[in-house]
Amino acid sequence: MKKALQHHHTTRTLPFWKNLLCAFVAVLIVLLPPVHLAKANILDTFGDFGVKDEVELGKKFSVLVKSKMPIIEDPEVTSYVSGVLDRLKENMPPQPFPFEINVLVDNTLNAFAVPGGYVFVNTGMLLELEHEAELAGVLAHELAHVTQRHIAKRIEQSQKVQLMSLVGMLAGAVLGATTNSGSEISSGLITGSMAASQAALLNYSRDDEREADHMGLIYLTDAGYNPIGLATSFAKIRRRKWESGSNMPAYMSTHPAVEERQDYLADRVASLPQEIQNRPDDDTRFKRVQVLVRAQYTDPNLALAYFAKQKKTPLVLMGQGIAASRVNKVKQAAAYFDEALKGDPKDYLILREAGKFHYTKGDTTKAITLLQKAAVKNPEDLMTLFFYARLLNDKGDSKSAATYYQKILKTLPEDSEVHFFYGKMLGQSGDEFSGHLHLAYSALYRNDKKKTAYHIKKAEALATNQKQTSAIELIKKQRDERAAYWK
């Protein structure tokens, strides 16, 4: 806080790029529910703006988003989008930082990336596209904005831009943007790190967009996808705008070059060898993830209405089962799951979701049979292991359950639900310190300020050695990072 006050009194002497970063944080206040700038002063962090600073800026942006928006932790979804990203990265030049992708539960058609390799895609985008190649096209464009350092270069080149001008332009770019739920968030994000461009008012030039389209198409093609995916993703987003009149990134609805970009992308694809243009789409896993996201993370009644119009495949029946269970139509849900299992008794995802359903409804015998089968079919599915761990604990085998919880947390360290049940189990078994520690993490990742403080205080009172004291210091550090953005 002392350093923040010092910066407040010396603003006029700061480098202009630091003023730009300050403007970036100011706009995030507009984009997301209110945060306190004084608590999140990022000027203390940066020296000369370079790759290290990009990473730090991206990390702070990621923490802010996670402190305000629900993130999907289901490994079926997260591993899928990570796999698409990894496939694109394989043929990219080496990058100075790793990339991280998260899926936000939000109906708007947004995807965006920020410096440092942090990528976000909304559930609305996942559900609107028709092919994996289109999703890959969106992400390829995103990656191109990051790899070409468009935002970083604009920060470096902004030395002659006055801070108040930047703030005014930023506010003009994003004010009035709302999600379906009414909470403020950027709609200036389009399928490409146009997110960060509009969000930070580092408006990308036409040259930036052309370069991102050019490089994105290269990344998409080199990854083995049908290259038309980038152009058709643009077309689908524009079509959605005319159909609904909403849920549309402002950039896509107003920028005069969108049609031109679609045309030249189509022309470039037409110039490629025929075997590349004719690459088949493999949308098997993409469609599975779409069913799961629609059933689990959208309005359950709307999901049921959607599935009712689809061909009754085992996967669609599973989706109906998930959505029906969410509105407590237990008998209907059970019937849907039974029919799905009858249609494909070997699909681990159907086995997993049916097992989850029967567990939550109290039929542990049926649940354990289904979950065991799911684990055999896919031993790496962490959601299956999570519910299996809960079953083991219910049966008194907390030692085996702990092994599964620990394995899950190595891959999903920010899953609040896993921390919650693991913490409860530890507390019940007598390890009160660890129990409160994991319950504190659970509350932290749910952005529950009061419960986080409560369980940290309880754990701190129980700490008896240096290892436990260090664990308290670590969670306090993580708490402080998020608390800077809590109300």
Residue pLDDT, tens place only, 26-59: 444 334 433 333 333 333 333 345 778 778 878 8
Distance CA 192, CA 170 (A): 18
pLDDT of residue 439: 98
Residue type, 445: Y
The domain boundary residue, chosen from 227, 258, 277: 277
% of the chain beyond a pLDDT of 90: 57
Alpha helices in 10-50 (DSSP H): 16-31
Residue predicted with more confidence, 114 or 147: 147
Indicate if the pLDDT at residue 462 is higher than 60: yes
pLDDT of residue 190: 32
pLDDT band of residue 360 (cuts 50, 70, 90) is very high
Identify whether 442 is part of a domain. Answer: yes
| pTM for the predicted model, two decimal places | 0.80
Contacts (Cβ under 8 Å, ≥6 apart) of 55:
97, 115, 116, 117
Indicate if the pLDDT at residue 248 is higher than 50: no
pLDDT of residue 244: 53
Average pLDDT over residues 224-232: 92
pLDDT of residue 7: 36
Identify whether 371 is part of a domain. Answer: no
Identify whether 287 is part of a domain. Answer: no
Do the Cβ atoms of 127 and 297 come closer than 8 Å? no
- Tokens coding 404: 């599964």
Residue type, 432: E
- Tokens coding 61: 């942006």
pLDDT band of residue 169 (cuts 50, 70, 90) is very low
> Following DSSP, what letter does each residue of 243-301 receive, concatenated?
HHS-S--HHHHH-TTHHHHHHHHHHHHHTS-HHHHTPPP--HHHHHHHHHHHHHHS-HH
pLDDT of residue 182: 39
Give the residue numbers spanning the domain of 120.
Answer: 2-277
Computed from CA positions of residues 154, 158, 162, 163, in that sequence, does the dihedral angle turn out positive or negative?
positive
pLDDT of residue 250: 44
Residue 236, H or E segment:
helix 229-244
Distance CA 353, CA 370 (A): 9
Residue 318, H or E segment:
helix 314-326
Average pLDDT over residues 346-352: 97
Are residue 272 and residue 417 in the same domain, yes or no? no
% of the chain beyond a pLDDT of 70: 75
pLDDT of residue 449: 93
Indicate if the pLDDT at residue 122 is higher than 80: yes
Indicate if the pLDDT at residue 195 is higher than 60: no
Do the Cβ atoms of 441 and 419 come closer than 8 Å? yes
Of 94-108, 281-295, 336-350, give the lowest mean pLDDT range. Answer: 94-108
pLDDT of residue 9: 38
pLDDT band of residue 265 (cuts 50, 70, 90) is confident
- Greatest mean pLDDT among 134-143, 223-232, 322-331 lies in 322-331
Residue predicted with more confidence, 165 or 144: 144
Of 75-89, 145-159, 195-209, give the lowest mean pLDDT range. Answer: 195-209
pLDDT of residue 28: 41
Contacts (Cβ under 8 Å, ≥6 apart) of 207:
none
pLDDT of residue 156: 63
Using alpha carbons, select from 101, 103, 100 the residue that is nearest to residue 74: 103
Residue type, 60: K
Total domains in the fold of the chain: 2
Using alpha carbons, select from 437, 429, 385, 427 the residue that is nearest to residue 410: 385
pLDDT of residue 258: 67
Identify whether 43 is part of a domain. Answer: yes
Indicate if the pLDDT at residue 166 is higher than 80: no
**Please, what is the average pLDDT of the chain?**
80
Identify whether 373 is part of a domain. Answer: no
pLDDT band of residue 198 (cuts 50, 70, 90) is very low
pLDDT of residue 231: 87
- Tokens coding 42: 């990022």
Indicate if the pLDDT at residue 463 is higher than 90: yes
Indicate if the pLDDT at residue 16 is higher than 50: no
pLDDT of residue 243: 56
The domain boundary residue, chosen from 236, 253, 277: 277
pLDDT of residue 162: 40
Distance of alpha carbon 232 from the chain centroid = 23
pLDDT of residue 152: 67
Residue predicted with more confidence, 66 or 58: 66
Average pLDDT over residues 355-359: 97
Q: Supply φ then ψ for residue 58, to 5 degrees.
A: -65, -40
Indicate if the pLDDT at residue 1 is higher than 80: no
Q: Alpha carbon of 117 to those of 196, 251, 275, 361: distances in Å?
A: 12, 22, 32, 41
pLDDT of residue 242: 53
Identify whether 213 is part of a domain. Answer: yes
Identify whether 367 is part of a domain. Answer: no
The domain boundary residue, chosen from 258, 277, 296: 277
Indicate if the pLDDT at residue 310 is higher than 50: yes
Indicate if the pLDDT at residue 204 is higher than 70: no
Residue predicted with more confidence, 43 or 202: 202
pLDDT of residue 80: 97
Reported as a single tens digit per residue, the pLDDT across 406-434 is 999 999 999 999 999 999 999 999 999 99
Q: Could you tell me which residues are beta bridge partners of residue 120? A: 102, 112
Are residue 168 and residue 24 in the same domain, yes or no? yes
Residue predicted with more confidence, 469 or 39: 469
pLDDT of residue 36: 35
Reported as a single tens digit per residue, the pLDDT across 428-460 is 999 999 999 999 999 999 999 999 999 999 999
Q: Could you tell me which residues are beta bridge partners of residue 114? A: 118
